[in-house]
Chains A and B, each alone.
Chain A
Amino acid sequence: MKRYSVFAIAREALRYHTGWERAWRSPDPKPAYDAIIIGAGGHGLATAYYLGKNHGITNVAILEKGWLGGGNSGRNTTIIRSNYLQDSSSAIFEKARSLYETMSQDLNYNVMFSPRGLLMLAQTHHEARGYKRTVHANRLQGVATEWISPQEVKKLVPIINIDGPRYPVLGAQYQARGGTARHDAVNWGYARACSDMGMDVIQNCEVTAIRSENGMVTGVETTRGAISCKKLGIVVAGHSGVLAEMAGFRLPIESMALQALVSEPIKPCIDVVVMANTVHGYISQSDKGELVIGGGTDGFNNYTQRGSFQHIEETLRALIETFPIISRVKMLRQWGGIVDMTGDRSPIISKTPLGNCFINCGWGTGGFKAIPGSGWAMAELVAKGEPGPLAAEFDMWRFKEGRFIDESVAAGVAH
């Protein structure tokens, strides 16, 4: 792999950029691999990346039914934070956040991780108590967060209205090293690194069946032929239930549409990420200048990647109350994605009833921020056949035991 650098750009500029090589190869599937990962989204690619980097397993194929990064990892609001309440959550999200810090250097691909700071506004006394609890929990976890006053909020976000008539800002939970990253770049950076390690990223290759013998997985059938494997990782987010059915088990997952929108680009006016959970809205401004806005999930299950328009309206109402100047800014584009929700709103990184078949799903509305940590934990599980500490609590049998990892306590809405 040719390294990216400012010198490489200068060299290529002289020959009209004709010398750049492919970011990732586009091979035909081989008949067999040591491991197959289904799903070339962020989590699947990160899993493959750490299989190679941490465990030396590089005879790996990542199968993608469409184009890589085309699911939720390419359509989210790119927020990165680790200010979670429960220890199991904080462990994996903080691992992920810390890996984001060095991801551009690790991958030699600028993912534009921007630790610009993240605020979660407290707009009721109840919410304030909840965030203070999270800050206390974060202290024990070694996650750097703090509780700040409304005046400090105003200093960080000059365009905010902290004295709204309905939900004045009572303070905020602040994670200074939270922020955003460029979602596509994360997917592409991983794909390039995987390809460089000799792995095959195979797009337009839909898995149609999972093969097994004596309770052990032996391979998959795809639209591009049958491929055998020793180990199989299913990392497909919204369509996890469909793949699980092929593998012969059921998941405690519901799939729903979650929506987001961006405004037209404007000059910088908000330099931190602001989440307002009482009124259901969150906002940041991309480096391009677009206000990136997220809303709530629909109250019913579906797979359409579209959502009910009233969520957009509710979110915008809340945001105009909080940021009155955006009233004359225009909405440029809105879209939806399918999120896979578990009963406790925490993910599943787990062995399955089928031997050597593992699953990573259930990230719901908050998966992007977890990508590197999720891949790290999943790779360990696939490589060793047993979970390491990061994944240990996220097995799918926890629902049977009532061993929930409930984060809705801290963030009642999309996170």
Chain B
Amino acid sequence: MSTRLSKGGRLIDRAHAIEISFNGKRLRGYRGDTLSAALLANDQMLVGRSFKYHRPRGIVASGAEEPNALVNLGAGARAEPNQRTTTTEAFDGLVAASQNHWPSLDYDIGAVNNLAARFLPAGFYYKTFIHPRPAWKHLFEPIIRRSAGLGKAPAEPDADRYEQVYAHCDLLVAGGGIAGLQAALIAGAAGARVMLLEQTAHWGGRAPVDGDVIDGKPAEEWITATLDALGKMENVTLKTRCMVAGVYDHGYVLAEERVADHTPGDGRPRKRLWRIRATRVLSATGALERPLAFAGNDIPGVMLASAVRDYVGNWAVSPGDRTVVVTNNDDAYRTAIALKEAGLEVPVIVDARAQANGALPQKARAMGIRVEAGRAIVKVKGGKRVTGVALGLMAGEGAVLEEIACDAVAMSGGWSPVVHLWSHCGGKLTWDRARAMFRPDAARPPLTQDGSALVIAAGAANGALTGAEALADAAEAGVAAVKSLDLKAKTTPIGKAEAVEEAMIEPVWMMPQGAKASLRMKMWLDFQNDVKVSDVQLAAREGYQSVEHTKRYTTLGMATDQGKLSNINGLAILADALNEDIPAVGTTTFRPPYTPVTIGALVGEARGEIFQPLRRTPMQGWHEAQGAYLEPVGLWRRPYCYPRAGETHEQAVNREILNTRANVGLLDASTLGKIIVRGPDAGRFLDMLYTNVMSSLPVGKCRYGLMCNEQGFLSDDGVVVRLAEDTWLCHTTSGGADRIHGWMEDWLQCEWWDWKVYTANVTEQYAQIAVAGPKARLVLEKLGGMDVSKETMPFMTFAEGELAGIPARVHRISFSGELSYEIAVPASHGLALWEKLVAAGAEFGVMPYGTEAMHIMRAEKGFIMIGDETDGTVIPQDLGLDWAISKKKADFLGKRGQERTYLASPDRWKLVGFETLDGSVIPDGAYVLDAGTNDYGFRKAQGRVTSTYHSPTLQKGIAMGLLRHGPQRMGEVVEFNTMAGGTVAARVVNPVFLDPNGEKQNG
């Protein structure tokens, strides 16, 4: 059984006992435990079920590579699925539950899949469930969906908050093992701004557990001293619990810090996402041990040799009383030695190599451990936990020579450098035949924008596996990093680790070598996704030979561990099946993140109302206090209407319209885009941008203008104001301001870069209020300060002055068809002016009106609305706006586009008005039916509605729309389709329903 040893455990604090709950059972642990350590200390060997066959699974690893031990952590609003127990720090009161089983972990109905495993090889679902056709959707898929998935989706919104931080550094060192510490020390001493990030809560990586001796002392002393030195450098930032998730182009690095995962609810953000811009990245991310493929290697109790060593050394937990070690290299002997030293039994070390005579095997033998070279585990015995192993010849086919009882197996298939950060941005790998591993190819690194290497690999991540090699390699990498930053390396102490001679690894991808099919079907490669040696071989046999095909066909490496343990073994099996070299087969692409990142952390504080930037006009608070119903317009939230008690939105809109038409209304038009265009070439520039001429506009006058894209399609409209000889103010639509400003800059910076023009988007610098209605002038006159008479300020002019003591620019422009003034004041005066207008207008019946009233009033007047009458396929000519297109100008944006045959065709749909015969409102988006069908067999259409409303002014439905040959068909009755499947008849009429001669707006 697995249990807590009475002594040792460098990371636990025996003075602080904690209690955790697993599947409702109370378990005891110590502060410093990982959840894995605590579970193993309580003999909880079985922790989960696999994805496909629902096989019982135990803890395999001790770090981020763990494929099996995933649990639902926490409850309610703090429930999180798929949390790895190996990287979860245990704390008092932690609640965890195993996943993917029913009714319980011990008795799982889903395990019936395991009995049928022989019928469910890789890709079986592509070959069956084909007939009958409806069965996939209604029968097979629902069953598969229910049995797939791992943890349960959280049921409640997240109770925690997350933070995001930006940082910049010269050198980002990923990994706080001895290599990372050494490299950071060199770079820090040279004066570089260094960030050293370590994913676990502890510094030093594997060196202390592996028993490295540095500068003649235990590794821990060197680690403490180095940390101490780094801590004194102001230019060095040290962070633990901070996982570097991905390296992106231009040195962008993403890291996730677990701030309060181990202290939930303490008020701190749960996680912090670091968004770092690094000049160079030094990847000292270590290496991961590979499992070995032998039959039954997934039974709980079979673990990585290094993990067994970690549990004993770090947490004083023994995975078993009798542990068989199986290996193809010398490193695993360290585990046997550690177990023996802890007083545990190691009945045998099974070494696949023909000989095992290195220093470590000799030491093991000297300690009395039996070493069997040239042997293999034929099969692990046991169900929910290991009960023994059957041994045979490595070179054989699986004949059993001997059975040995044990309760744990420690396996080692060699080590693979963690090359993820090297590879994310395009770094290439090379196959190191002698060491049987892919390592970074220094000749083909990921590049920065100037073509130099962005990432430098160091230590085990660079293939320097032993402590001595890693420190030497890290020293070199540190100096290289300093040089690449154009800094000078200072004399820095370089740690020297004692070299322990290790014999060569022998690549072993499955054991025994000639294992027959029945054994290969029990050799797991990807534990979580249940991919076995036989599956990869099947993929190769069926022609899924590209490593990407094999991965996708078998799902190898696609589980939550992203193949950290399985990829190399899998592709070695594939290479063998294809009779190819491992490097010829290649790896799959390493994609970020290194380990899964909480979506909440990626979102940070951008939640709720501010999940996107929120733009507020100076009068926003007033609208909200009035109970306005707001609608999103771009990033603004504009009042749609101001409902009074008991009013529906529709009633409110009607009231606002009727009042504006009879008395006077106020509209917060601050969101209207306002772009200043200035300079000697400004007139020429605007003449290119607008379809009509703006250079000839006199100072003091306003002119309505249209903008088209190069294709000729109408993209925005608005009133242009000539403020001064060299200065124009361009009003754009509310939603279009940023886009149009970008559009202007695009042309000025990329095409007409020699024109002398400046633009400035001053949308938020001014508040703008429309005062519209027959009594508008009276309200302004009451405010006083400016002459707003018809004579002094006729339609389409403006004047600057002071209104009620506030500096203002008053425009005589109208979007409602009423007598209307649009008053622009500095934003800081917006609310004051608004309140003065409300007060001054009281006696004239002033009311605010919202966007819907604005929309309906402009439709009554037949004014087009960008986004309603236009949709990116409409040209001004379609809307009867030919008058706003200059015939004289040699060129403007869209001119050439509009001359193309299809745009110049007389058969285009053109703007008209529609009135239903029965006064009803035409449905939104309805089409005008035409007789017959087109080449596709679709019912033909000859037009469509673009704006359709109930007009409270006219007491009937009115609409604008596009109709083939429309303007020539006045009076004709056409039919629209309705949602219900019927039709509604409407007469073609003039789109200007109100005041066609403009007497109101000009008045």
Contact = CB atoms under 8 A, between A and B. Distances in A.
B607 A289 contact: no
A343 to B, nearest CB: 7
B977 A136 contact: yes
Contacts of B936: 87-88, 90-91, 141, 389
B131 A105 contact: yes
A170 to B, nearest CB: 9
A98 interface: no
A136 B902 CA distance: 25
A1 B883 CA distance: 68
Interface in B233-277: 246, 248-249, 252, 254, 275
Interface in B924-966: 924-927, 929, 934-941, 944
B542 A309 contact: no
A67 B549 contact: yes
B602 A279 contact: no
Contact of B611 (A268, A317, A332): A317
B919 interface: no
A263 B543 CA distance: 29
Contact of A321 (B607, B637, B712, B938): B607
A388 B711 CA distance: 27
B306 interface: no
Interface stretch (A6-14, A218-226, A243-251, A361-369): A6-14
A298 B254 CA distance: 19
Contacts of A66: 546
Interface string A364-408: 000000000000000000000000010010000010111110101
A185 B126 contact: yes
Interface in A16-46: 16-18, 20-26
A401 B607 CA distance: 46
Contacts of A110: 125-130, 136
B782 interface: no
A242 interface: no
B552 A74 contact: yes
A102 B133 contact: yes
Contact of A402 (B249, B552, B897, B923): B897
Interface string A44-60: 00000000000000000
A149 to B, nearest CB: 12
A155 interface: no
Contacts of B593: 331-334
B612 A90 contact: no
Contacts of B938: 87, 90-91, 140-142
B603 A264 contact: no
Contacts of B160: 328
Scoring A22, A101, A166 by chain B CB atoms within 10 A of each residue's CB, the highest score goes to: A166
Interface stretch (A121-129, A206-214, A230-238, A351-359): A121-129
A142 B937 contact: yes
Contacts of A329: 80-81, 153-154, 598-599
Given A320-B607, A330-B598, A266 B151 contact: yes
Interface string A153-175: 00000010000011100000000
B552 A287 contact: no
A123 B637 CA distance: 13
Contacts of A150: none
Contact of B153 (A136, A269, A335): A269
Nearest to A6: B128
B2 interface: no
B124 interface: yes
Interface stretch (B140-148, B455-463, B506-514, B793-801): B140-148
Contacts of B544: 23, 188
Contacts of A70: 546, 548
A103 to B, nearest CB: 10
**Range class of the A interface residue count:** 35 or more
Nearest to A116: B137
Interface in B537-554: 538, 541-546, 548-549, 552-553
B144 A327 contact: no
B521 A288 contact: no
Given A267-B149, A401-B900, A9 B632 contact: no
A91 to B, nearest CB: 4
Given A22-B543, A165-B608, A265 B150 contact: yes
Nearest to B944: A133
A365 B221 CA distance: 56
A78 to B, nearest CB: 13
B488 interface: no
Nearest to B80: A328
Given A166-B611, A287-B144, A408-B872, A331 B596 contact: yes
A137 interface: yes
25 contacts: A8-B127, A20-B541, A23-B542, A66-B546, A69-B549, A101-B133, A110-B125, A116-B137, A129-B868, A129-B924, A132-B979, A136-B979, A188-B553, A264-B151, A264-B560, A265-B51, A287-B145, A288-B149, A309-B252, A321-B608, A325-B157, A328-B80, A333-B593, A343-B711, A389-B935
Given A87-B934, A306-B248, A333-B593, 16 more contacts: A6-B128, A13-B119, A66-B546, A68-B549, A70-B548, A104-B133, A141-B936, A263-B596, A266-B81, A266-B153, A309-B248, A309-B252, A389-B936, A404-B711, A408-B872, A409-B872
Interface of A: 4-6, 8-10, 13, 16-18, 20-26, 66-70, 74, 87-88, 90-91, 101-102, 104-105, 108-110, 112-116, 123-126, 128-137, 139-142, 147, 159, 165-167, 182, 184-185, 188-189, 203, 263-269, 271, 278-279, 287-289, 304, 306, 309, 312-313, 316-321, 324-335, 343, 389, 392, 398, 400-404, 406, 408-409
